[in-house]
Amino acid sequence: MITALSVAKAYAAAQKGVSGLATDAAGQAGGLDFSAMVKTAVGNAIDTSKTAEQQIVSHAQGKAQLIDVATAVSAAETSLEAVMAVRDQVISAYQEIMRMPI
Write out pLDDT tens, residues 25-44.
544 555 678 888 888 889 99
pTM here is: 0.63
* Exposure of 2 in the CB half-sphere (CA atoms within 13 A): 14
Distance CA 54, CA 48 (A): 10
Give backbone dihedrals phi and psi of 61, rounded to 5 degrees, phi first. Answer: -85, -5
- For residue 20, which of 28, 32, 38, 35 has the smallest C-alpha distance? 32
Count the Cβ atoms, other than its own, within 10 Å of residue 22: 14
Looking at residue 54, its amino acid is: Q
Residue 22, pLDDT score:
44
Question: Which residue numbers in the chain have pLDDT < 70?
Answer: 1-8, 10-12, 14-31
